[in-house]
Structure 1
Amino acid sequence: MKLLCIDGNSIMNRAFYGIRILTNSKGICTNALTGFMNIYLKEIEEVHPDCVAVAFDLKAPTFRHKANASYKANRKGMPDELAQQMPLIKKLLGLLGIKTVECEGYEADDILGTLSKAASDSGNECYILTGDRDSFQLVSERVTVRLAGTKETKIYTPDRIMEEYGVSPRQMIEVKALMGDTSDNISGVKGIGEKTALNLIQQAGTVENLYSDLDKFTITKGNRAKLEAGHDDAIDSHFLAEICLEAPVEKDTAAYKLTAPDAAEAKAFLTELEMLRLMERLKLTGADSKSADAGEETKIKLKDLPKYETGLPLNDDAIAQMTEGKKSAFIFDGNKLQVFFEDKAYSIAFGDWDFDGIVLKYFESPCEKTAFEGKKAHRFAFDNGTRLNGLTFCCDLAGYLLNSQAGEYTVENLCLTYKVTYRSDMGDFADVCSLLPLAENLKLQLEQTEMLKLFNDVEMPLCEVLASMEHYGVRADTNGIREFGKWLKKDIEALTKQIYDLAGGEFNIASPKQLGEVLFEKLGLPAKKKTKSGYSTNAEVLEELADKHPIVRLVLEYRTLTKLSSTYVDGLLKEVESDGRVHSVFKQTETRTGRISSTEPNMQNIPVRKEIGRNMRKFFVAGEGCTLLDADYSQIELRVLAAVCGDENMRKTFEEGTDIHAMTASQVFGIPADMVLPEMRSAAKAVNFGIIYGIGAFSLSKDIGVSVAEAKQYIKNYLDNFPKVSQFMDKTVEDGIKNGYVTTIFGRRRYIPELSATNKVMQAFGKRAAMNAPIQGAAADIIKIAMVKVYQRLKEEKLDARLILQVHDELIIEVTPEDKDKASAVLKEEMENAVKLAVPMEVSVGEGESWYLAKG
């Protein structure tokens, strides 16, 4: 048999420091758990053990501590973020059928030593997985140490120990007795390092032999004096360094055989921790689910639940039964439709007779519908000239609203999270058979968190709006894009030649390694610390070097142009469909703040801060016989801030239509508004928006090119002049710490577990997120509300106009000339009146044949 012995503390420690801090929405850290399981699963695939034992230390003192009070006395306590994960990994391992071993008075190393000896003595193979070299002394013909590293696991056999150290595995004890171990506070012989210790043991074999006659060995006068003075320390250190092979633990290897996991409990536990990807990797499927009854968790056996008929063909007769007042649930992915109605599950797949016709008949049917990813159904209906009727609930949208941290939403995960029995016994129809009870529970959760109105009035109708936008898309000027690409290519070639001339030769400009060598070795520019992979040449580093050598500015420009070429020329051309339009996919459950995102292409990321990036707008044009209307909120986040914090100065500025940035500059620099220079206004603008994002003096100084002291003074002046902003931010952070989340004025929650972290960097991130979330989240809510209202109004007034794009705080409509003025009025009116705040919303509307011209 093969036994895999894992040093639990060592691997958890390595995982904790190897992966950035991860938390779930409740603030529970999971990075060490994630890293441990990643390492474990990799080892299982490589070793294929029959038995696994994971050894852990206990807090109680061991026989070494009792013998020597200084043993490990210099060790810092375990970080709270790691300590809270130790009981979690033990519980998880138990649920997965993996044995954990602890023994009072002994360390994990002693357990590994005992189990490895017992396995070897009984003719079995043992593999020790650890991050420490202490276990090298345990290596033998039947015991292999697998040393976990950041990139690879190193395999240590007796031959490798001899090759690297020139001693046998057991002699590693003798070496440590002489050289000591600062991490364990084992003194060794003062002044004897690893190189000398290895040399001495290679000669003497053991510490005892060495001290039996120091004259027999080749030892310098200085080292001899050190050895003589440190004799007692060497003996004590030998005792502390030697791993015990007889700890009182179960020694029968067979006792550590892997057993079947408790899949239901493991799924519930991982769902609670929000470690859903790990759950998928562990293939925890087909088990009983957990449910909640009157507040108490009880196991519900699937065999006790009512059985449904599944796999029935969806046809006209089945759809005819789905009349008004009756409930159904469906899942549609474009190629297959599954419908649950009463106690039956129906399906139809692409290629079946009249697939499109049957799907559309169901979508048009009057029954009430619950869905998962309902936007796909809306899109299919629009693409086929009809509409989806009766959709009242989308479980994925509810899951997102309840916890935007999750990042991934599936029917099974939501069932586990919200204690709904997942009908895995229904096989391929498990998801659709679980939707109706899941929807009921999610609706209850939305009520309890006071987000049901936000769900019903904003997220659900927005689902249809986004599908409509995807359906219509926006026309692309492909010839213009190609010409722009040719122009970019010429500029890139010219830049490349200039860079080569300044570098004194050709190299791969896109290679950070080669660029680093040119900048920091060949040209001698000041470099930051060199890592194993080479010099850092990221944008931040290059910006700091921009005034040191002309090549740096050229490299930055080269990167800008090559990204435009690859992403927004080549990439955009690939997304143009046969109708000549780009049909971007708008995502409603992607961001933590509530903002809409898009892909294929990502319209939100078009680089418009530079003129060359803004030119990309020229290639999004109106359809034949139409024009584009572009409406943009003016400084929406600052207006939200003014409204929610109640600062009279800020409110007055917006009410009077004064330039907020000029006014801020006047306050920050202490000068009259008519004396504010353009660079002062720019600095004030950076302060205005920086405050929303919790910017610090260091970051602000880099953004506007002033000293940290000046930036600190700017922020102080700002907060002195707008005291209620500071009060609001402080109160928001306090509420976030107390509740674990912050909310927008519309009730949208963002959970911020980082606020409860002891790690100062994480805490600082949590505070910035808490300050920003109510502002950015409210801005996201407002644009969503406006989209819904504009969409509905255009339909009500039967205008030949359609909403086709949303980019940040901007809405774009394609409209015929006849309805242009009416549509423009609707757009401005609905956006400015989407919500009533203490300050007015201001919207400017432009028009043109392209997005560029409409933007003005």
Structure 2
Amino acid sequence: MRLLCIDGNSIMNRAFYGIRLLTNSKGIPTNAITGFMNIYMKELEEVQPDCVAVAFDLRAPTFRHKASAAYKANRKGMPDELAQQMPLIKQLLGLLGIKTVECEGYEADDILGTLSKAAADSGNECFILTGDRDSFQLVSDKVTVRLAGTKETKIYTPARIMEEYGVTPRQMIEVKALMGDTSDNISGVKGIGEKTALNLIQQAGSVEALYADLDSFTITKGNRAKLEAGHQDAIDSRFLAEICLEAPVERDTAFYKLGTPDSDKAKELLVDLEMLRLLERLKLTGTNSETPQKSAEETALKLKDLPKYETGLPLNDDAISQMTEGTKAAFIFDGAKLQVFFADKAYVIASGDWDFEGIALRFFESGCEKTAFEGKQAHKFAFDNGTHLNGLTFCCDLAGYLLNSQAGEYTTENLSLTYKVAYRSDMGEFADICTIMPLAENLKLRLEQTEMLKLFNEVEMPLCEVLASMEHYGVRADTDGIREFGKGLKKDIEALTSQIYDLAGGEFNIASPKQLGEVLFEKLGLPAKKKTKSGYSTNAEVLEELADKHPIVGLVLEYRTLTKLNSTYVDSLLKEVEADGRVRSVFKQTETRTGRISSTEPNMQNIPVRKEIGRNMRKFFVAGDGYTFLDADYSQIELRVLAEVCGDENMRKTFADGTDIHTMTASQVFGIPADAVLPEMRSAAKAVNFGIIYGIGAFSLSKDIGVSVKEAKQYIKNYLDNFPKVSEFMDKTVEDGIKNGYVTTIFGRRRYIPELAATNKVMQAFGKRAAMNAPIQGAAADIIKMAMVKVYKRLKAEKLDARLILQVHDELIIEVTPDDKEKAKAILKEEMEKAVNFTVPMEVSVGEGESWYLAKE
């Protein structure tokens, strides 16, 4: 048999620090559990053990603590966020049929040692998974240590230990006795390091043999004195370093055979922790290993009162003819298969079946009220075929997103588990379609309870159709222009490369942080920040601070800009151009925590526009033949939202009067008349204005605008003194977030911020910044969505030859014929400015041109 022994504390610790802090919406940390299970599942696949034991430390003192008061006395306490996850990982492991082992008076290492020896003695193989090297002394022909690392697991056998250290596995105890271990507060012999300790044990074989005859070994005079003075320390350290092989735990390897998971309870725990991806990866099935019959009966009881449906019926015109106005149906459509649930029956038709497209379209056009999962694809399919989807009133994925934007992934089963709806797994491949109706009813009730049903019905649902229309039309790309632009970029990159090589005194891989760090900080002698194991940091922040120290730095920054532009926005964009010359980005409605729309293939939201060369990318998105572009952009929408929600009269009056908010802020912050404000003062005030929304601190602001921290702190104070209600609003928002676990926009959109409940100060600070920003950014997202829906409906109602084709942050782009241009321009401006009824006016500027660049400029 193969036994996998896991050092539970070590792997949890590694996972905790290796993954950023993750929490569920209740604030319960989950990052260590996530990392632990990722490592475990990888090891399970590679080792394929028959038996698994996970050893954990207890808080009670061990025999080592009793022998030495100094042992591990320097250890900091376990972070609260990690401590909270320890009982949860043990509970999860138990539910997965994995044995956990603890033993009072002994450490996890002693359990690993005892189990590995017992396995080897009985002729079994043992694999020890750990994150530290203490277990190297346990390695033998039957015992292998798998050292978990950041990128890979290193396998340690007797041969590898001899190759790396020049000693046998058991001699690693002797080495540690001499060199000590600062992490465990094992002193060793003072002044003897690893290199010397290895050399001495390679000569003597053991601490006892070494001290039996110091004169017979090659030892420097200084080291001899250290050894003589530290004789007792070496003996004491050896005792502390040796892992016990006789801990009083169950030693029969067969006892640790993997059991059958308790699927229901494991699912319940993972759903409660909101770890739905892990739930899917584990593929939890089966019944409780101890009482299989009872569990099977319980499962049957849960389903026995639920109605049984006819499934797999062919969807045809006869079935669709019954789906008239006043009836209800649910559907799932992925482009290649359509499943429909109607009148307690599940119908299906797939691509390749007779008249698949015709049947699908006739269903979409039918008069029944429809509930779906991911309705956008059905909308787009209808648009692509010259018709429209009729009667769609509810999408479960959009409801799930609105209820918890933290989840990140929405499936019928996950939502059913989360919101306590019976998932019809008894219906086989039709489980999802047979679950949608009751799931939708439950989700609708939850939306009512959280006061988000209006937001769902008036914004998210109609927006689904709008985005499908945008994906249907796409935007025309000037491929010749993109290629020429790419050629120019490559020439510029080649020229930059040559200049960088000249300044560096030779060729190297500019894209390699390691090689770049060596050139900048070792060869050219620029001041470096602390060096890590992977080398010097050469991120943008570091390089920008060094820009005035050497001309090569500016060239490297420019090189990075151009290479990213070329690879991400030239080469990639050309791959996305379809046969009709248009690019069709995929707009995602359930991706961001803030409520913003995102896009991929290509990502239109991330086209760089801060520099002129990035803005030039807009030139290659052009209107179709016989059309032109209208580009409408909200002016300072987030600041206007802030003025509205905080109620600050000074800020509201500034917008009402049409005064430039940044100039007015500069006047207030610097204490000078508005007509005396210089451009650099306005820029600083602009940074303060937008920084406040994101909870900026004095240190960050000082770096952004190039002033001292003291000056930045004064700027922020002056700002808040002049706009007192801003500070009140921010404080109240954070208080509400801490109290409720979430904050809301003025329209009711919730964002859960579990970081507010963290004990970690860094995470708390992040939570506070997110809480300050979410009601502002979220409301801005709501407004642009409302505007999109209103513009889309108005253009259709007035039957203009115009279509909404792009949304990027706070701007909308319409493709329109010259004949309808003026009407469309008026509609665009009117509907965007009147999307919400605020006391603070919404201001929209509209440009026009044959390309996005010209329309924007």
Q: Which residue of 2 aligns with 1:9?
A: 9
Q: Give CA deviations for 1:326-356 in whole Å, capped at 9, x if unaligned.
A: 2211111111111112222111111211111
1:122 and 1:198 map into 2 onto residues whose CA distance is: 32
Q: Does structure 2 retain, via aligned residues, the 8 Å contact 1:628–1:815?
A: yes
2:777 and 2:189 map into 1 onto residues whose CA distance is: 61
Distance 1:177 1:502, change over 3 A: closer
Distance 1:165 1:367, change over 3 A: same
- Structure 1 runs not aligned, ≥5 long: 289-296
Q: Which residue of 2 aligns with 1:64?
A: 64
* AA in 2 matched with 1:616: M
Q: Does structure 1 retain, via aligned residues, the 8 Å contact 2:260–2:287?
A: no
1:327 and 1:5 map into 2 onto residues whose CA distance is: 55
Q: Give CA deviations for 1:342-378 in whole Å, capped at 9, x if unaligned.
A: 2221111112111111000100111111111100001
* AA in 1 matched with 2:147: L
Q: Which moved more, 1:233-242 or 1:706-715?
A: 233-242
Q: Which residue of 2 aligns with 1:570?
A: 571
Q: Which residue of 2 aligns with 1:579?
A: 580
Distance 1:832 1:524, change over 3 A: same
SS in 1 for 2:846: strand
Distance 1:575 1:229, change over 3 A: closer
- Report how far residue 25 of structure 1 moved: 2.2
Percent identity (aligned) = 89
SS in 2 for 1:658: coil
1:196 and 1:578 map into 2 onto residues whose CA distance is: 69
- Report how far residue 565 of structure 1 moved: 2.9
Q: Give CA deviations for 1:560-595 in whole Å, capped at 9, x if unaligned.
A: 333333333333333222333222211111111000
Q: Which residue of 2 aligns with 1:648?
A: 649
Q: Which moved more, 1:598-607 or 1:770-779?
A: 598-607
* AA in 1 matched with 2:360: V
Q: Which moved more, 1:494-503 or 1:104-113?
A: 494-503
Give the TM-score normalised by the residue count of structure 1. 0.94
SS in 2 for 1:376: helix
Q: Which residue of 2 aligns with 1:411?
A: 412
Q: Which residue of 2 aligns with 1:293?
A: none
Q: Which residue of 1 aligns with 2:819?
A: 818
- Report how far residue 539 of structure 1 moved: 2.2
- Report how far residue 240 of structure 1 moved: 2.9
Distance 1:175 1:320, change over 3 A: same
Q: How does 1:277-426 map to 2 (within 5 A)?
A: 277-284=277-284, 301-302=302-303, 305-426=306-427
* AA in 1 matched with 2:794: R
SS in 1 for 2:58: coil
Matched, 1:541 2:542: yes
Q: Which residue of 1 aligns with 2:603?
A: 602
2:590 and 2:365 map into 1 onto residues whose CA distance is: 26
* AA in 2 matched with 1:619: F
Q: How does 1:468-547 map to 2 (within 5 A)?
A: 468-547=469-548
2:204 and 2:503 map into 1 onto residues whose CA distance is: 61
Q: Does structure 2 retain, via aligned residues, the 8 Å contact 1:287–1:424?
A: no
- Report how far residue 207 of structure 1 moved: 4.3
Q: Does structure 2 retain, via aligned residues, the 8 Å contact 1:742–1:774?
A: yes
CA RMSD of aligned residues (A): 2.4
Distance 1:219 1:318, change over 3 A: same
1:120 and 1:483 map into 2 onto residues whose CA distance is: 67
Matched, 1:187 2:187: yes
- Report how far residue 641 of structure 1 moved: 0.5
* AA in 2 matched with 1:789: K
- Report how far residue 189 of structure 1 moved: 4.1
- Report how far residue 490 of structure 1 moved: 3.8
- Report how far residue 804 of structure 1 moved: 1.6
Q: Give CA deviations for 1:152-183 in whole Å, capped at 9, x if unaligned.
A: 32333333334444444334334434443332
Q: Does structure 1 retain, via aligned residues, the 8 Å contact 2:330–2:341?
A: yes
Distance 1:222 1:370, change over 3 A: same
- Structure 2 runs not aligned, ≥5 long: 289-297
2:550 and 2:799 map into 1 onto residues whose CA distance is: 60
- Report how far residue 311 of structure 1 moved: 1.8
1:344 and 1:243 map into 2 onto residues whose CA distance is: 64
Distance 1:648 1:760, change over 3 A: same
Q: Does structure 2 retain, via aligned residues, the 8 Å contact 1:396–1:410?
A: yes
Matched, 1:683 2:691: no
Matched, 1:137 2:176: no
Q: Does structure 2 retain, via aligned residues, the 8 Å contact 1:180–1:186?
A: yes
Q: Does structure 2 retain, via aligned residues, the 8 Å contact 1:286–1:424?
A: no
SS in 1 for 2:183: helix
Distance 1:218 1:703, change over 3 A: closer
Q: Which residue of 1 aligns with 2:559?
A: 558
Distance 1:514 1:77, change over 3 A: closer
* AA in 1 matched with 2:312: G
1:254 and 1:643 map into 2 onto residues whose CA distance is: 68
Distance 1:633 1:300, change over 3 A: farther
Q: Does structure 1 retain, via aligned residues, the 8 Å contact 2:187–2:237?
A: yes
* AA in 1 matched with 2:469: S
1:502 and 1:221 map into 2 onto residues whose CA distance is: 49
Q: Which residue of 2 aligns with 1:36?
A: 36
Q: Which residue of 2 aligns with 1:25?
A: 25
Distance 1:732 1:514, change over 3 A: same
Q: How many equivalent pairs are there?
A: 848
Distance 1:157 1:304, change over 3 A: farther
Q: Which residue of 1 aligns with 2:293?
A: none
Distance 1:286 1:595, change over 3 A: farther
Q: Give CA deviations for 1:16-49 in whole Å, capped at 9, x if unaligned.
A: 1222222222222222112212221222222221
1:558 and 1:648 map into 2 onto residues whose CA distance is: 47
SS in 2 for 1:184: coil
- Report how far residue 315 of structure 1 moved: 0.6
2:687 and 2:164 map into 1 onto residues whose CA distance is: 57
1:188 and 1:459 map into 2 onto residues whose CA distance is: 66
Give the TM-score normalised by the residue count of structure 2. 0.94
Distance 1:618 1:268, change over 3 A: same
Distance 1:197 1:805, change over 3 A: closer
Q: How does 1:733-752 map to 2 (within 5 A)?
A: 733-752=734-753
SS in 2 for 1:470: helix
SS in 1 for 2:155: strand
Q: Does structure 2 retain, via aligned residues, the 8 Å contact 1:97–1:261?
A: yes
Matched, 1:96 2:96: yes
Q: Which moved more, 1:413-422 or 1:90-99?
A: 413-422
* AA in 1 matched with 2:366: S
Distance 1:299 1:719, change over 3 A: farther
Q: Which residue of 2 aligns with 1:294?
A: none
Q: Does structure 2 retain, via aligned residues, the 8 Å contact 1:286–1:425?
A: no
2:153 and 2:480 map into 1 onto residues whose CA distance is: 53
Distance 1:741 1:217, change over 3 A: same
Q: Which residue of 2 aligns with 1:776?
A: 777
Matched, 1:248 2:248: yes
1:211 and 1:555 map into 2 onto residues whose CA distance is: 58
* AA in 1 matched with 2:19: I
1:287 and 1:304 map into 2 onto residues whose CA distance is: 20
Matched, 1:808 2:813: no
* AA in 2 matched with 1:794: L
Q: Does structure 2 retain, via aligned residues, the 8 Å contact 1:285–1:424?
A: no
Distance 1:624 1:216, change over 3 A: closer
Distance 1:124 1:800, change over 3 A: same
SS in 2 for 1:598: strand
Distance 1:175 1:563, change over 3 A: closer
- Report how far residue 485 of structure 1 moved: 3.2
2:119 and 2:317 map into 1 onto residues whose CA distance is: 67
Q: Which moved more, 1:455-464 or 1:597-606?
A: 597-606
- Report how far residue 215 of structure 1 moved: 6.0
1:613 and 1:329 map into 2 onto residues whose CA distance is: 45
- Report how far residue 850 of structure 1 moved: 2.4
Q: Which residue of 1 aligns with 2:834?
A: 833
2:184 and 2:702 map into 1 onto residues whose CA distance is: 44
- Report how far residue 11 of structure 1 moved: 1.2
Q: Which moved more, 1:458-467 or 1:762-771?
A: 762-771
Distance 1:286 1:780, change over 3 A: farther
